[in-house]
């Protein structure tokens, strides 16, 4: 089995959107997907992309993807690689593609002098939690994620 990791290009926008929709379906969040190919082109493939995508290719099949971006740690005075989404097609799970994507991004984070790599996981996703624990990742029990929706931000700015 030959697994390769490929940085997405603008020609992959349709495939990126397919993976986003499949991930949303898996997470029971399809109703929240409003992304379009036009928006993905603008945010992922502009002069200053806001995020990046890498695919895991199993033989000749694109079987998984990871979407990530860099944020900044003031305490470390270094960037942090934030993994926003990781998804492997169900028929390709158990073949080390997810682990390979994590290792690929970990190497990229080291190349970019990142002080750490972070991501979020849904509390009900036991298989993902077990997988991340097996890698030596640690949950941040003292931190909570907060979110302001676009509507809430609009109300605040009035």
Q: Which of 68, 72, 132, 146 is catalytic?
A: 132
Put the strands of the sheet holding 3-7 in their side by side order: 3-7, 52-58, 61-73, 78-88, 116-119
* Rounded CA separation 94/38 (Å): 33
Burial class (CB in 10 A: 0-12, 13-18, 19+), 24: middle
CB 88 within 8 A of CB 63: yes
Kind of pairing between the strands at 61-73 and 116-119: unpaired
Instruction: Judge whether 132 counts as a catalytic residue.
Output: yes
Neighbouring residues of 119: CB distance < 8 A, sequence distance ≥ 6: 82, 83, 84, 86, 132
DSSP state of 157: T
Which residues have a catalytic role annotated?
Answer: 132
């Amino acid at each position: 089995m030959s697994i390769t990791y490929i940085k997405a290009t603008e020609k992959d926008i349709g495939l990126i959107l397919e993976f986003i929709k499949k991930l949303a379906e898996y997470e029971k969040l399809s109703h929240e997907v409003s992304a379009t190919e036009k928006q993905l082109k603008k945010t992922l493939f502009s002069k200053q992309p806001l995020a990046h995508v890498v695919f895991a290719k199993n033989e000749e099949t694109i079987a998984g993807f990871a979407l990530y971006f860099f944020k900044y740690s003031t305490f470390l005075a270094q960037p942090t690689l934030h993994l926003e989404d990781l998804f492997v097609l169900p028929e390709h799970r158990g073949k080390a593609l997810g682990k390979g994507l994590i290792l690929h991004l970990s190497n990229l984070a080291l190349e970019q002098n990142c002080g750490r790599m972070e991501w979020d996981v849904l509390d009900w996703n036991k298989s993902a939690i077990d997988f991340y624990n097996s890698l030596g990742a640690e949950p941040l029990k003292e931190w909570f994620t907060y979110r302001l929706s676009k509507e809430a931000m609009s109300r605040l700015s009035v």
